[in-house]
Amino acid sequence: MKKPLEALAHRYHYSLVVLKELVKTDFKLRYQGSFLGIAWSVIKPLMLFGIMYAVFVRFLHFTDGTPQYPVVLLMGNCLWQFFAEATGIGLRSIVDRGDILRKIHFPNYIIVVSASCGALISLGINLLVIVVFAIVNGAQFSWRVFLLPFNLIELYALALGCALILATLYVHFRDIQHIWEVISQVLFYATPIIYPLSMVKGNYPVISKLMLMSPIAQTFQDARHNLVDPVNVQTIWSQIGNPFICLIPYALTIVLLIIGVHVFRKHSRKFAEIM
């Protein structure tokens, strides 16, 4: 057992070193010249949360009827920021790093993975803020907290699969960035982030079930359910009785990641020539 692990570590040692350096460089450059620096990774989602809370909770009275809804709203915002950042930066990553690809030989997928890892670091920082915020709001944590890493792995796999496909398309078609911006807005409003799923369920029960077929909505609801409120936050498992239907968004995530890896590997050899 030890020898196969050593062989595997030796095989990917160079790739891991390159990935580590790219992640460090990207994270430093992101806040270079900024007075607050890395603090913006926490301040920005908190500012967006403040605006959403004032508009949708205080003014429009969006709520699921529980005192933990502000935490649910904050977590949804942070999870979306991760997905949007991982896919948005991942989309441009190959083209932005074209000079490196032409000078240094290493697996091209590392560039896309490094972009998503940078977003993952920001999410990790934000999750610490969410936990503190949840404690202040009196959230009662349960054993389901230990399921949260699986939700984050699924969300990362989903974002990485999208980023690999988008990065490949962007090399050939620059218009894909503008198309993805529109699609992202549609996904944002089609996902229960700024409004509770219970609001949709009350008026349109069938639509609420269809929304949970989306891996994004399913992952967000599962993560909120496991960390913040396992009683009131509704998930696909509480909405749909058929377990085979409940597995659809999980299967879609795996399929999307497999397609992303396949498409990227198929076209990655010609990236340097095209750019």
Helix residue spans in 137-270 (DSSP H): 148-172, 176-190, 197-203, 205-211, 215-227, 236-239, 243-246, 248-267
Q: What is the largest CA-CA distance in the chain?
A: 62
Q: Note whether residue 10 is domain-resident.
A: no
- In this structure, are residues 228 and 131 in contact, taking their beta carbons and an 8 Å threshold? no
Q: How many domains does the chain have?
A: 1
Alpha carbon 91 to chain centroid distance? Answer: 14
Which DSSP state fits 141? -
Q: Note whether residue 9 is domain-resident.
A: no
Report d(CA 271, CA 275) in Å as an integer.
6
> The domain containing residue 252 runs over which residues?
19-274
Q: Note whether residue 4 is domain-resident.
A: no
Q: Note whether residue 3 is domain-resident.
A: no
Report d(CA 114, CA 132) in Å as an integer.
28
- In this structure, are residues 93 and 166 in contact, taking their beta carbons and an 8 Å threshold? no
Predicted confidence (pLDDT) per residue in 145-202, tens digit: 999 999 999 999 999 999 999 999 998 888 999 999 999 999 999 999 988 888 888 7
Q: Note whether residue 219 is domain-resident.
A: yes
Model-level pTM? 0.89
Which structure tokens are listed for 114? Answer: 């490094």
Q: Note whether residue 11 is domain-resident.
A: no
Q: Note whether residue 242 is domain-resident.
A: yes
- In this structure, are residues 108 and 268 in contact, taking their beta carbons and an 8 Å threshold? yes
The tens-digit pLDDT sequence of the chain (275 residues) is 555 555 555 566 667 777 777 777 777 666 666 666 667 777 777 788 888 888 877 887 777 777 788 888 889 999 999 999 999 999 998 888 777 777 777 778 888 888 888 889 889 888 988 888 888 887 778 889 999 999 999 999 999 999 999 999 998 888 999 999 999 999 999 999 988 888 888 788 889 889 999 999 999 999 999 998 887 888 888 888 788 999 999 999 999 999 999 999 888 777 766 66
Tally of CB atoms within 10 A around 90: 27
pLDDT of residue 273: 65
Which DSSP state fits 57? I
Dihedral (Cα; 235, 237, 241, 242), 10-degree rounding: 120
pLDDT of residue 249: 95
Q: Note whether residue 5 is domain-resident.
A: no
